[in-house]
Amino acid sequence: MADAYNEEQEMYQNYLPQPTGRKEYGEAALVERLDPYKILEQISHFLKGEIYKPSEDIWEQKLEPLVNNLGHNRLMMCAASIINQNTTLSDLDDFEIGRMCQFLADRIIRLLFLEWEDFKIRRENLDIIWENICDTAYMALKRAKNRGEMKAIKTAVSSQEMVHIRDNLQQDTKKKMWAFGGNK
């Protein structure tokens, strides 16, 4: 029983965003880590029943897919209408976030209710699919509250610029000291 529990916990852990193993700095690395399409990728892997295998840096089919290809594509289109750079880089308040989440929840419920048989979804998985997509979208939209994601990017970029300026000043100082016969 304990082995089954541990295996289940490991599978859920592998749905979390995975580190790439490489250290990247700067604006490009930050933007890549904050990319909302990575969130969509996580939903996609969840729907397909794929688990991340860090030892090989691949996604592997471990579970039965929750939906067929048609269902996957339709659900991903709904999720992408809310989880995208236009929304995560916006300035949303709680009311707007709630309204957008309600809109998505209504669309997903309607889609699942009307087409669950066509999507080959087992009835017991309907709420799991709905909760995963809606909860993930809510958290993605929370990144836009009071321009939170935009502020994080600006702060990181300005910090990176300050490091770059400091490094250049140190190099210039060393060059000037050497020109006057100082330390080499």
How far, CA to CA in Å, does 43 sit from each of 8, 15, 81? Answer: 18, 9, 13
Sequence spans of domains, the chain: 33-146, 151-184
Q: Which residues of the chain have pLDDT under 50?
A: 5, 11-13, 15-23
- Computed over its alpha carbons, how large is the radius of gyration of the chain? 23
Helices 69-82 and 126-142, axial angle in degrees (round to 10): 30
Q: What is the pTM of this model?
A: 0.66
- Confidence at residue 20, expressed as pLDDT on a 0 to 100 scale: 47
Nearest Cα to 142, choosing from 106, 77, 80, 90? 90
- Confidence at residue 141, expressed as pLDDT on a 0 to 100 scale: 87
- Confidence at residue 84, expressed as pLDDT on a 0 to 100 scale: 87
- Confidence at residue 175, expressed as pLDDT on a 0 to 100 scale: 56
- Confidence at residue 136, expressed as pLDDT on a 0 to 100 scale: 92
Rounded distance, CA 38 to CA 54, Å? 16
- Confidence at residue 90, expressed as pLDDT on a 0 to 100 scale: 77
